[in-house]
Amino acid sequence: CIFGGLMTQYHHPKWCFFWYSFMGLFVSLAACFPTKKSEDDKVWTDEPEDSDISTSLENYNAEQRRQMIARGQSEASVNQREIPARTGFCYRLKKNCQAIGRAIQMREIFCIVIFFILRGILNPTFEEFSYFFLLNVIGISKFLFAVLVLVGQICHVLGALLYKAFCRNVDTRWMVFWAILANVFATFANFAFAKRWNKNCNINDIVFLFFTDVVFNVIQTVLYSLPILALFAKIAPAKI
Residues 85 and 219: beta-carbon distance below 8 Å: no
User: What letter does residue 50 receive in the DSSP assignment?
Assistant: T
Q: State the pTM of this model.
A: 0.58
- What value does the mean pLDDT take over residues 82-103? 74
Q: What is the structure's pLDDT at 52?
A: 44
Among 140, 145, 113, which Cα is nearest to 127's? 145
Q: What is the structure's pLDDT at 60?
A: 66
Among 191, 192, 202, 193, which Cα is nearest to 137's? 193
For 210-240, the pLDDT digits (tens) are 888 778 877 887 888 888 888 777 776 665 5
C-alpha to C-alpha distances, 183 to 25, 114, 190, 191, nearest whole angstrom: 35, 19, 10, 12
Among 184, 185, 190, which Cα is nearest to 122's? 184
